[in-house]
Amino acid sequence: MPFTEATGGRGPLAVTKAALVVVVALAAVKPWRQLRMSVLVLAAAVALSALVVCLLTTPGWFGATRAASYGLGAGAFVAVAAYVRNVRQMTHVALVVVAAGVMQFAWAFVPWQGGRVQSKAMVGTFYWHNQYGAFLLAPTLIGLCLLVGNRAPWRLAGWVVVPLGTAGVVYSSSRGAMAALAVGWLIVGVLAVASRKRLGATVRWLAAAAIALGATFVIAGPPFFATSASPLAATQAREKSGESVDANSEYRTHMWRESVSVFEHHPFAGVGYGGLVPAAVQVTPADWPRSPLSHNDYLQALAEGGLLLGLPFLIACGAIATRLLRVSFVSVRRRNVDVRTGMWVGALALMAHAAIDFDWTYPALFALTAILAGAAVGPTLRRPALQHARSTTRLMVRVAAVCVLIGVVIVGGVAGRKGGNRLAFHFGDTGQQSSPLAAGTTAGQQPQ
């Protein structure tokens, strides 16, 4: 939670503190005893390649915080996957995520309500509405599954976070987050209707929907405000200012094509963290909007890190997505809704949202996605017992991979200690430029 509070992990010493926690966690759970060799080697490859990009590209250590976030994500995934062996431990992880969601809403609500303007989007500690909305997806969907399928006292956590998280996503005005949340609600509802205890699960799902809807309307009116307003007031205000769905879609399309063009001209090691704009100026039409952020985290890795980073990273993402889908098929086949359902639904929602925005440029959102994915697929990644002679060699490889991962996390934590505020500037969703030189600009903020 302190990591999230520090501007989504971009603040000074945020990644350093997070690196310390991840290193301690890796040492404590001893993943070399738990996980398959391929998992550990791939995680180490992602973390190491992200750091090597700083050595081979012009921006250098300017993007140390961004490089560190890959190591933190890989380390968090490995640590959680090694820790979670059963539903009880998965519930422990879920409760931490739910608590972080409640705190994030509280941090967002106080200044938003104090501003007395319902048409302003909630931004939380990310200082940008899209990433705030994306962060609340996971705790909301996990809480929904807890209240639908789990017993007391864990069900109580769901009743607390679901109305707050749903309202937070709506008031973030992030249309992508709202769409992902709606799909998540629908998936959980279908599973509830099809579950063995369908009556109780369906009633709780309907009750949660009613309470969440009611809370969303109440928050924008008395007693918090003198008058009532539509929950979509901030979304409507953005539409009027020119940030329509069509305009945003066209803008993102330009960013994706820009990233692909840059990757084609710098295929090996990319252009480095924050180097997308100067590289794009040379290879794309002059009238295109510019942004150092691809608005697609998968293309961001390819453009900034080339095949050096993009290949292991995309392989890892593809492998995780495949495992998540397999876990989802098991849930459907068993016709149950439980905490693991919330984990895979939340992880898939975050991975989908990362395809249309720059979520993982915030280390906290990157780590959150890794934590959910690790908890959801961790039990399927455990190594089989090896009785033959090669087990010693394999053990040495696994230990070496974890040592590399720990070393990269430590280096990234030290190198990124100053934070990522210098990389926080970007262009607005309508293509308007925010000045990277504006005095006092906070990470993630962008004047329209």
The confidence score (pLDDT) of residue 436 equals 30
Q: Pick 287 or 306 by higher pLDDT.
A: 306
Q: What is the pLDDT of residues 20-38, one digit of tens each?
A: 999 999 999 999 999 999 9
The confidence score (pLDDT) of residue 152 equals 74
DSSP state of 231: T
Confidence category of residue 165, pLDDT binned at 50, 70, 90? very high
The backbone torsions φ and ψ at residue 35, rounded to the nearest 5 degrees and listed phi first, read: -105, 160
DSSP state of 243: -
Task: Look at residue 430 and tell me if it is in a domain.
Answer: no
The confidence score (pLDDT) of residue 244 equals 82
Task: Look at residue 433 and tell me if it is in a domain.
Answer: no
Whole-angstrom Cα distance, residue 11 to residue 1?
13
Q: Check pLDDT > 60 for residue 389.
A: no
Q: Check pLDDT > 80 for residue 135.
A: yes
Task: Look at residue 442 and tell me if it is in a domain.
Answer: no
When the pLDDT of each residue in the chain is averaged and rounded to a whole number, the result is 88
Task: Look at residue 246 and tell me if it is in a domain.
Answer: yes
Q: Check pLDDT > 50 for residue 81.
A: yes
The confidence score (pLDDT) of residue 447 equals 30
Q: Check pLDDT > 90 for residue 440.
A: no
Whole-angstrom Cα distance, residue 379 to residue 374?
9
| Angle made by CA atoms 358, 82, 17, in degrees to the nearest 5 | 55
Q: What is the pLDDT of residues 209-231, one digit of tens each?
A: 999 999 999 999 999 998 899 99
Instruction: Tell which residue, 339, 310, 2, has the closest CA to residue 158.
Output: 339
8: CB partners within 8 A, 6+ apart: 125, 126, 127, 131, 135, 362, 363, 364, 365, 443, 444
Q: Pick 433 or 38 by higher pLDDT.
A: 38
Distances in whole angstroms, Cα of residue 79 to Cα of each of 43, 61, 101, 412:
11, 26, 21, 17
The confidence score (pLDDT) of residue 393 equals 85
Task: Look at residue 257 and tell me if it is in a domain.
Answer: yes
Q: Pick 308 or 446 by higher pLDDT.
A: 308
* SS3 call for 321: helix
The backbone torsions φ and ψ at residue 70, rounded to the nearest 5 degrees and listed phi first, read: -65, -45
How many structural domains is the chain composed of?
A: 1
Instruction: Tell which residue, 324, 359, 364, 326, has the closest CA to residue 345.
Output: 324
For the segment 35-46, the average pLDDT, to the nearest whole number, is 96
Task: Look at residue 415 and tell me if it is in a domain.
Answer: yes
The confidence score (pLDDT) of residue 441 equals 32
For the segment 362-384, the average pLDDT, to the nearest whole number, is 93
Q: What is the pLDDT of residues 313-372, one digit of tens each?
A: 999 999 999 999 999 999 888 888 999 999 999 999 999 999 999 999 999 999 999 999
Across 9-18, 141-150, 173-182, which has the greatest mean pLDDT?
A: 173-182
Report the share of the chain in percent with pLDDT over 90: 71
The confidence score (pLDDT) of residue 203 equals 94
Task: Look at residue 436 and tell me if it is in a domain.
Answer: no
The confidence score (pLDDT) of residue 431 equals 36
Residue 418 in contact with residue 25, Cβ under 8 Å?
Answer: no
Task: Look at residue 85 and tell me if it is in a domain.
Answer: yes
- The strand pairing partners of 427, in sequence order, are 433
DSSP labels, 3-59: HHHTGGGTSTTHHHHHHHHHHHHHHHH-HHHHB-HHHHHHHHHHHHHHHHHHHHSTT
The confidence score (pLDDT) of residue 2 equals 63
Whole-angstrom Cα distance, residue 149 to residue 391?
40
Whole-angstrom Cα distance, residue 340 to residue 145?
8
State the residue range of the domain holding 181.
2-423
Whole-angstrom Cα distance, residue 350 to residue 311?
20
Residue written as token pair 């903020």: 445
| Angle made by CA atoms 87, 89, 91, in degrees to the nearest 5 | 70
The confidence score (pLDDT) of residue 387 equals 45
The confidence score (pLDDT) of residue 390 equals 56
The confidence score (pLDDT) of residue 149 equals 85
The confidence score (pLDDT) of residue 243 equals 82
For the segment 288-294, the average pLDDT, to the nearest whole number, is 89
The confidence score (pLDDT) of residue 438 equals 29
